[in-house]
Chains A and B, each alone.
Chain A
């Protein structure tokens, strides 16, 4: 199996590579956490791309139940067909809808299975999946079939930390926390996304960006994806460089700050701090 070394669109740090490769080779789920916007979901896409494997995405919502990942039996449709005298009604398998895990278990090619935002679901959700993840097989009671995985799929699980995950579940995973990139990594990420962008613009923008991140008490700190959006806006608007460079305290709020600060309380806090900084001068 090829090793994951990051791709042309994705900058992977050394520790991320080790964690991904361990998960891929040992076929254990990789649990990825990190601030929103640090590229957790994108990681699965990139792993699939790098390994040339198909990607099966299971986006978890608050109403998602574990068994929906296995299969769903549409009893109502069968009941209706029975009423109408449809021929299909005699074969119960017509009413079994495959879930994402089933899809992953029976995929002809080794797939990458992304279970996105597992923490959104009910608190028991991960526990309900333990058995299936361990045995890599499950029973379909309606048809008396057992679905067994030919090969353990590569599993990437992301979590936003909204709920803590149970220990028994964590034990089975490798874990990686995507920490907020330092300046060097950030520069590399920007180079990947906007090759040929003015060096000085980036440096100035990053100065401001990290300053904003350092403002104490922000509800939501701007993240990588927000910096990238902001840069794109700055480029689109053809913002003259000196706007970013100006040390003029009356212009303490960075231009197009809406791309960085997503919360009106944060904007207010920032304006207040900027106002205080102005008064000091």
Chain B
């Protein structure tokens, strides 16, 4: 059952598994839901979709798979007696309109169209059996009829019973994210070197037991917590052409801050010059001299630049090339110095890799970091981290 549905879901990128399929069948078997299309929709959504970003996609698949099938819940399409149609038409159309309609073709032809239309409507109408028996004119109420032949609805009866999944209320949440924080973290994990350092605040049970056994009195041993000892300098490009990537970089940043304990971050604009800053609001008043950074943080730090490297080539090659201030020394100098002090240097570029070749400055920056430029994608991060591990200081 529902093999088609599962296949379609998988094709749409919703990771429906065998297990979830079984759960759905079990739920149907145990009669968790009433047998209505809505309840089935809600149940299968709760079973298959585990991320609100995918709900919209699920709605579309559901619509595609179950569109024609819904009538089987109710009954087979009904042959509508012609008298009804006439009665309905007369009820909702003024004599003038009837005349107008007649002028368009024979009454029978129009009736045929109306009949088809109503049948179609019935197929699309949820719950099938409700509309013919109860409420008498209600289905027709939803339908109007106008000289163009198809227009549905009089003023107040405009609202077609739109099915929940057709409303696609979750459209806003669908974001085909390339990277989530979790994925970034998994990628960043490649860059791990565990060590215990810092203040001893964790009980070392084994050492305590051993010490106690040896001494004959309670001999408590403490040790520092084990954590990632990799040291990282993160330089983030802000402003201008980086604006479209803010969300992505924010995610990278939040993943990095939780993963690395020894992380220092600085902002720069376009290219690295003699000053960087830690707070964007005080970027002019509160700058850190790049020399200080190079002196303060040792060779064992790894430098990661995040930026789109899109600028005018002069901004890299010429003194005074910066768009924001007068830089006494060219960007090239500063990039070389960093690459010299920190042999493990990579540049992560949020711009898709295939566009790099169209930008002169990107190629230059890539050269300056020794070719270690990687796209801000999972695979790219993975490669970048591998490169950083490989390049021991």
Contact = CB atoms under 8 A, between A and B. Distances in A.
Contacts of B90: none
A123 B182 contact: yes
Interface in A149-196: 162-167, 170-177, 179
Contacts of A21: 32-33
Interface stretch (B17-25, B78-86, B142-150, B283-291): B17-25
A18 B217 CA distance: 61
A163 B182 contact: yes
A26 B42 contact: no
Given A22-B32, A75-B205, A177-B55, A171 B19 contact: yes
A25 interface: yes
A83 interface: yes
Given A26-B27, A79-B218, A164-B183, A177 B52 contact: yes
Given A22-B33, A83-B218, A164-B181, A171 B43 contact: no
A238 interface: no
B218 A18 contact: no
B379 interface: no
B208 interface: yes
Nearest to A62: B258
Given A26-B27, A31-B50, A164-B183, A18 B169 contact: no
A175 to B, nearest CB: 5
B49 interface: yes
Contacts of A19: 42-43, 46
A40 interface: no
Nearest to B15: A167
A15 B183 contact: no
B170 interface: yes
A163 B218 CA distance: 41
A45 interface: no
A80 B205 CA distance: 13
B38 interface: yes
A129 to B, nearest CB: 16
Contacts of B212: 79
B203 A28 contact: no
B214 interface: no
Contact of A26 (B26, B51, B173): B26
A198 B23 CA distance: 46
A179 B23 CA distance: 24
B57 interface: no
A61 to B, nearest CB: 14
Interface residues of A, number: 34
B217 A83 contact: yes
B33 A28 contact: no
Contact of A33 (B32, B52, B169): B52
A162 B293 CA distance: 32
Contacts of B19: 171-172
B354 interface: no
Contacts of A2: none
A22 B19 CA distance: 15
Contacts of A177: 52, 55, 170, 173
A68 B50 CA distance: 26
Nearest to B31: A25
B332 interface: no
B182 A164 contact: yes
B366 interface: no
Contact of A171 (B20, B180, B218): B20
B185 interface: yes
Contacts of A123: 182, 185
Interface string B151-172: 0000000000000100001100
Contacts of A14: 38-39, 42
B45 interface: yes
B30 interface: yes
B137 interface: no
A165 B183 CA distance: 10
B202 to A, nearest CB: 12
Given A80-B218, A164-B181, A25 B30 contact: yes
Most buried by A among B42, B46, B205: B46
B46 A174 contact: yes
Given A76-B203, A179-B170, A18 B43 contact: yes
Nearest to A15: B42
Nearest to A3: B32
B328 to A, nearest CB: 36
Interface string B47-73: 101111001000000000000000000
B50 A173 contact: yes
Nearest to A34: B52
Interface of B: 15, 17, 19-20, 23, 26-27, 30, 32-33, 38-39, 42-43, 45-47, 49-52, 55, 164, 169-170, 173, 180-183, 185, 203, 205, 208-209, 212, 217-218
Given A14-B42, A22-B32, 12 more contacts: A15-B46, A15-B164, A79-B218, A80-B218, A164-B183, A166-B182, A170-B50, A171-B17, A171-B50, A177-B52, A179-B169, A179-B170
24 contacts: A14-B38, A14-B42, A15-B46, A18-B39, A18-B42, A19-B46, A22-B43, A22-B47, A25-B30, A26-B30, A26-B32, A33-B52, A75-B205, A76-B208, A123-B182, A163-B181, A174-B23, A174-B46, A175-B49, A175-B50, A177-B55, A177-B173, A179-B52, A179-B170
